[in-house]
Amino acid sequence: MPEIEGIYTIWLRETKRFIRYRSRILTSVVTPLLWLLIFGTGLGSAVRFGGNLPGGYQAFIYPGIIGQTILFTAIFSGVSVIIDRQYGFLKEILVAPITRPSIIFGKAIGISTAAVIQGIILLLLSFVVGVHMTPIIFLASFLLMIPISVGLAGVGLLIASFTDSMEGFNLIMSFVVLPMFLLSGALFPVTGLPTLLQGAVYLDPLTYGVDALRQIILGYGAIPLYISVTVILIFAAIMVFISALMFNKREQELM
Amino acid sequence: MDYIIETKDITKKYDDFTAVNSVNLKVPHESVYGVLGPNGAGKTTLISMLCTILRPTMGSATVNGYDVEKNAKEVRGSIGIVFQSRALDDILTGREHLEMHAALYGVPQKVRQKRIDEVLDLIALGNKADEYVKTYSGGMKRRLEIGRGLVHRPKVLFLDEPTLGLDPQTRENIWEYISKLNKSEDITVLMTTHYMEEADKLCDEVAIMNQGQIIKADAPINLKRELKADTITIKVDNSDLFIKKAEKLDYVKKIYSEDSYIKIMVERGENLIPQLVNFANQNNIIVESIELQHPNLEDVFISYTGTSITEGR
């Protein structure tokens, strides 16, 4: 079982790195709390959403902010392969006698672990925004966060496979991360939008993640749950597959 | 299988630039083999093709009997690599690097701990083994990288400029370590270097590489013997006159000036020093200094390439 052991090894390293950079864990929890407490309270009291947001605006964005946390962590951890490359460590992994898909899969589940840990911390803080948490909601949300984060990690890894340096970081922020976040319906309901915006919203894979989380946590959403879950699973599978393909293809350039 | 590494006209081209040009290399089992050349000679490109990192444009190579293109995975399993640039993770410990490597290379669980302990013993990290790599010195990092390359007991260890950027004392330690390793383990070492002294001291055989081509390959002692020349370096007050006069002496095989010094190639130079000094005096030339050198690899390099290795960059 050398491949499985290889996947495990790469996962282990990713997880160790996450746990050892303590400041990263702290910021990854503080940032969403700022969104929830300041943005959520502020906008929630300034704007009336026609009374169709049960539990208030803060509760409405709570699943969205969980999605945002997963998005930021997963994409940036994926992109951090560029740093591995600059430090030369990627070579050590790429010359090992294990297949590229195993490397990518190990990376993706390692990144997913980090993202899901942050998601769990946020789930445990649900009382802050007055959302009632039950073991079933907790478990279902946890299971759902896994494919969401794996898919987004795949996006990050894919970007890393054709980016040379961290100079492209701002571009990734402007053209990938922020649009995905803003279009996902994390901050506003996705129904009743202008047609063009509506289309963009439904092209954003994170929309389905946020909507599914919202249905599980708050009990309402815009898309049937089974469709959202299917889209997320397919998205995760495709992203891991494509980034593995790209790593295979660009292997020479990456070392 | 006579040689553990054998290349056949291996070539790597980048657009118009040929980094490695039809190289035929034959590396005997359990030797320390050096590829010597200036920066930019194509050494790293050559080694990268042998390590399956780069694909050759033309030609082929076998490592441990496996083709580097068709059986890349088997090649990877039989080699250990120490890259020229660092390949360590700052936030992992030395031991974790070795554990990770052992797992990636499929070292059986049963022997893993023993191997890691052996390697840690060999590279003498002491109690630093369980600290983060970011606290290590340059020499420790290099030793860790070499040790990591050994955890899975490779048949061939590739070392790309193993002592680049290390202080002289650490360099000596690494040399000692590589020799010890080659004697105690059943392993072939292929290293690149642009330090003549390093190649001379460590390698059983040396291939001189310049501008993508192997110019000459042999044991260092044979390469030096072939020059049949000691070098006398002399400094006089009138170089031009001295060269003009000395050219006619029958024991002078070659004479040329380098900077403000004159180099004279002779055989059995120790007997000729008094003669040369007398000769200069007879011609009213004052000798400021005189020095005898038996040939070293630098001279071999110059005689084959026409440039000194440090100028080659």
pLDDT given at position B250? 83
- Single out the residue of A152, A190, A163, A170 nearest to residue A84, CA to CA: A163
Question: What pLDDT band is residue A81 in, cutting at 50, 70 and 90?
Answer: confident
pLDDT (mean) for B290-306: 80
What is the mean pLDDT of the segment spanning B234-252?
Answer: 86
Measured CA to CA, the distance from residue A149 to residue A109 in angstroms comes to 8
Average pLDDT, integer, range B136-148: 89
- List domains and CATH numbers for chain B: 3-224 (3.40.50.300), 230-294 (3.30.70.100)
The number of beta carbons lying within 10 Å of the beta carbon of residue B270 is 11
Rounded distance between C-alpha atoms, residue B210 and residue B214, angstroms: 7
Most confident stretch, A129-133, B95-99, B117-121, B257-261: B95-99
The whole-angstrom separation of Cα A172 and Cα A183 is 15
Tell me the nearest-neighbour CA distance from B104 into chain A, angstroms.
Answer: 5
Residues in chain A with CB shorter than 8 Å from the CB of B83 are 88, 91-92
**Average of pLDDT values for A236-246?**
94
A115 and A153 in contact (C-beta within 8 Å)? Answer: yes
What share of chain A has pLDDT > 70, as a percent? 98
Q: Which residue of A has its CA nearest to B84?
A: A88
Nearest CA in chain B to A88: B87
Question: Does the complex come out with an ipTM higher than 0.90?
Answer: no
Per-residue pLDDT at A109 = 95
Q: Name the residue type at position B145.
A: E
* Domains in chain A, number: 1
Enumerate the H helices of chain A as residue ranges: 2-20, 22-34, 41-46, 56-79, 81-86, 89-94, 100-124, 135-161, 169-172, 178-183, 195-203, 205-218, 225-249, 251-254
**What string of DSSP letters covers A133-157?**
--HHHHHHHHHHHHHHHHHHHHHHH
What is the pLDDT confidence band of residue B183, given thresholds at 50, 70 and 90? confident
Range B267-293 average pLDDT: 86
Residue A162 in contact with residue A246, Cβ under 8 Å? yes
Q: What is the mean predicted confidence (pLDDT) over B166-190?
A: 84
CA nearest neighbour of B156 among B11, B47, B300, B236: B47
Q: Which token pair is B289?
A: 């200094």
Decide if B106 and A5 are in contact by the 8 Å CB cutoff. Answer: yes
CB B186 within 8 A of CB B174: no
Which of chain A's residues have a Cβ under 8 Å away from the Cβ of B52?
Answer: 95
Mutant choice from A86, A92, A100, A254 vs B, greatest count of B C-beta within 10 A? A92
Average pLDDT over residues A15-27: 87
B259 or B203, which is more confident:
B203
> Does A5 reach chain B within 8 Å, measured CB to CB?
yes
Please give the Cα distance from B3 to B257 (Å, whole number): 42
B138 Cβ partners below 8 Å, 6+ apart? B165, B166, B167, B170
Q: Is the pLDDT of residue A51 over 80?
A: no
pLDDT at B312 over 50: no
The average confidence (pLDDT) of chain A is 90
**Helix/strand/coil for B5:** strand
pLDDT at A105: 94
Q: What is the mean pLDDT of residues B159-183?
A: 84
Mean pLDDT across A185-210: 92
Q: Per mean pLDDT, which range of A11-20, A202-211, B300-309 is the poorest? A: B300-309
pLDDT > 70? residue B48: yes
Specify whether the CB–CB gap between A148 and A233 falls below 8 A.
no
Query: Is residue A52 pLDDT above 70, yes or no?
Result: no
Split at pLDDT 50, 70, 90, the class of B313 is very low
Residue A209 has pLDDT above 90, yes or no: yes
Distance from CA of A110 to the nearest CA of B (A): 15
Strands B205-210 and B213-218: antiparallel
Mean pLDDT of chain B: 87
Of the candidates B140, B244, B148, the residue with the CA atom closest to the CA atom of residue A92: B148
User: What is the pLDDT averaged over residues A175-188?
Assistant: 92
Average pLDDT in the B138-151 region?
89
Answer yes or no: are the C-beta atoms of A144 and A70 closer than 8 Å.
no
Confidence class for position A180, pLDDT limits 50, 70, 90: very high
Residue B127: band (very low, low, confident or very high) from pLDDT cuts 50, 70, 90: confident
pLDDT at A103: 92
Find out whether A14 and A107 touch, Cβ atoms under 8 Å: yes
> Domain range holding A144?
2-254
Instruction: Say whether pLDDT at A80 is over 80.
Output: yes
* CB count in 10 Å sphere of residue B11: 17
| B282 phi/psi in degrees, rounded to 5 | -60, -30
